[in-house]
Amino acid sequence: MPIDPEVLRQWPIAEVEHSYTVRDTMLYALGLGYGADPMDDKQLQFVYEGRLQALPSMAVVLGYPGFWISNPGTGADWKKVLHGEQAIEIFKPLPTAATVIGRSRVTGLFDKGKDKGAVLVSERDVIDKSSGDVICRLTSTTMLRGDGGFGGPSGPLPAPHPLPDRVPDQTVSIATLPQAALIYRLSGDYNPLHADPAVARSGGFEKPILHGLCTFGVVCRALLDAICGNDPSKLRKMQVRFSAPVFPGETIVTELWKETGGVVSFRAKVKQRDLVVINNGRAEVAA
């Protein structure tokens, strides 16, 4: 049965008040594999309270409204949902501990056809409760692989960011942990697709896959290390297109191109399968 597009477009995503501590900030970083070398000061600053900084990519777990698309009222086939694209814009450095308000909304719904599914676009503002300042804004697209054919418009959707046609300026390899998805989910995304083998198989995967946003965070690690001197305040914007899932334990290789005006283009591959998993990446970095 097709989804009701008007119901989904107007779905009332609950506002979230989210208090987090330095422990949560460290747990998020551990989920991305920081601390694999406990003697590395560049990693320690994200997992040790003595010099703790919050990663810009942690924005994706702040004020998170949960896996609301799995509510039966949405009509969506939640077992066939995949993250399509993700962007963050950082307006001020993320605190290592705070109470924030997450305000999310559906901003678009597009029909790609019965056999191709639908695309849902949403935004979330993360607001510092104490000051009322917007810390960051997140934009994401969600692929509803089982819900196309409802008769809605097929666009317009933004064109993907083009990558340079030359050899990358730099490459960064980061190995993920076999248990990475089980750690990362403790930051708030409890979709069983990433933990339960039976659910993964019912969704068409041989085993649980890594959260797309965990892959996003690992690539953010690469950007910070290669471009920002591991100073999280320098990363202002980051947007990606997810092109294939990662299995926990695989190595993510990020290829980067430095362009003018503080813009960095990038993509990421899985080393073991020589497969592009994040494509058309674009970041903006402060001087």
Q: Are 26 and 52 in contact (CB under 8 A)?
A: yes
Active site residue 209: yes
**pLDDT classification of 23: cutoffs 50, 70, 90:** very high
Residue in 209, 227, 252, 278 annotated catalytic? 209
Q: Which pLDDT tens digit goes with each residue over 199-216?
A: 999 888 999 999 999 999
Rounded to the nearest integer, the mean pLDDT of the chain is: 94
Residue in 189, 217, 227, 252 annotated catalytic? 189
Axis-axis angle for helices 22-31, 212-227 (nearest 10): 90
Three-state DSSP state, 92? coil
Specify the pTM.
Answer: 0.90
Single-letter amino acid code for the residue at 247 = F
Q: Which pLDDT tens digit goes with each residue over 137-183?
A: 999 999 998 888 888 878 888 889 999 999 999 999 999 999 999 99
Active site residue 194: yes
Residue in 117, 212, 217, 281 annotated catalytic? 212
Q: What is the mean pLDDT of residues 27-44?
A: 95
Residue in 18, 83, 194, 211 annotated catalytic? 194
Q: Are 34 and 186 in contact (CB under 8 A)?
A: no
pLDDT for residue 17 is more than 90: yes
- What domains, with CATH codes, occur in the chain? 5-285 (3.10.129.10)
Could you tell me the two tokens for 150? Answer: 């409802």
pLDDT for residue 284 is more than 80: yes
Q: Which pLDDT tens digit goes with each residue over 114-147?
A: 888 899 999 999 999 999 999 999 999 999 988 8
